Amino acid sequence: MEERGVRFEVVSKSSRRHVPDTNPSRLQKEIKNGTVLIASDCHYFPGTITRAHKAFVKLCKELKPRTVVMNGDVFDGAQISRWPRIGWDNKPTVKQELETCQDRLSEVEKACVGAEFVWNLGNHDARFETRLAAEAPEYQGIKGFALKDHFPRWKPCWSFFINENTVIKHRFKGGIHATHANTLWAGRTIVTGHLHSLKVTPFSDYNGCRWGVDSGTLAEPYSEPFRDYTEDAPLNHRSGFVVLNYLDGRLMPPELCHVVDDIGPIFRGQILDV
């Protein structure tokens, strides 16, 4: 194409792709119409079932999602952390944590008959195999020495791509402006966890509107998993999760279910009875 002596090259959309189509640690899915529920940073603790988890199970039953994503740090790994013990704190064992995660995820599975289950690995989840690889490398490949062996219905990955407009992964950029930076650098809507902040940041440019989303935490911000190492500091954390809806392949504005401290889980202007 030429105009006033300047030659313009028409570049197709597909030729502008810089991200490889395949990656062994990535899952991809096409969704034309349907709902995806995303929970993150559960840090499931023995003997505790949070309001956010109950609300998540409730909406799994009501919204009937096509796909459910656990966006990292379902397992905490308190006793196998690289951080030393704080005082005489009493952390749950690996066995207790695994059994708790199995119980909570089983509740999600039963609430979502026919759904696909995806688990993006988080930095806390990675503690399970990192510790074993360091201490008992000779056992590599033996069943039970990988976290995924204990959760057969959940597909593990580092990132989950939906259509050509959404990527879900545990973490990317950090800091208070992470959601803005994430979608700016990703070039598409991106849902991350890790920071526990539960928020949606819109971003518009010549390509239209996309969103940077933080999927919050299913744990209570000031609960036992965080109590000691946060040293009673004020936390910019919020309990809740994310709901994505697709219409004709397009992502609609992301929705949040937010557990307000003195009210309870709120979704679409309604207080959920959990």
What pLDDT, in 10s, does the model give residues 22-42? 688 999 999 999 999 999 999
Give residue 68's pLDDT.
98
- In whole angstroms, give the CA distance from residue 200 to residue 25: 26
CA distances from 206 to 157, 180, 203, 242, 255 (A): 31, 16, 10, 26, 24
**Cβ-based neighbours of 183, under 8 Å, separated by 6 or more:** 189, 190, 201, 203, 210, 211, 212
> What is the end-to-end Cα distance of the chain in Å, rounded?
61
Instruction: Reply yes or no on whether the pLDDT at 118 is more than 60.
Output: yes
- In whole angstroms, give the CA distance from residue 210 to residue 202: 6
In which band, very low, low, confident or very high, does the pLDDT at 20 lie, cut at 50, 70 and 90?
Answer: low
Q: What is the mean pLDDT of residues 194-216?
A: 97
Pick 4 or 213 by higher pLDDT: 213
Report phi then psi at 136, rounded to 5: -140, 60
For residue 194, the one-letter residue type is: H
pLDDT in tens, 60-90: 999 999 999 999 999 999 999 877 888 888 8
Q: Percentage of residues in the chain with pLDDT exceeding 90? A: 83
In which band, very low, low, confident or very high, does the pLDDT at 12 lie, cut at 50, 70 and 90?
Answer: very low
Instruction: Reply yes or no on whether the pLDDT at 203 is more than 60.
Output: yes
**pTM (2 d.p.):** 0.91
Pick 86 or 244 by higher pLDDT: 244
In which band, very low, low, confident or very high, does the pLDDT at 238 lie, cut at 50, 70 and 90?
Answer: very high
- CATH match of 27-271 with 3.60.21.10: yes
In which band, very low, low, confident or very high, does the pLDDT at 10 lie, cut at 50, 70 and 90?
Answer: very low
Q: What is the mean pLDDT of residues 206-210?
A: 95
**Among candidate residues 121, 72, 124, 69, the one with its CA nearest the CA of residue 94:** 124
Instruction: Reply yes or no on whether the pLDDT at 270 is more than 90.
Output: yes
In which band, very low, low, confident or very high, does the pLDDT at 7 lie, cut at 50, 70 and 90?
Answer: low
- Whether 63 contacts 111, CB under 8 Å: no
Q: What is the mean pLDDT of residues 111-133?
A: 96
Pick 91 or 117 by higher pLDDT: 117
Give residue 88's pLDDT.
82
In which band, very low, low, confident or very high, does the pLDDT at 3 lie, cut at 50, 70 and 90?
Answer: very low
Give residue 264's pLDDT.
96
Mean pLDDT of the chain: 92
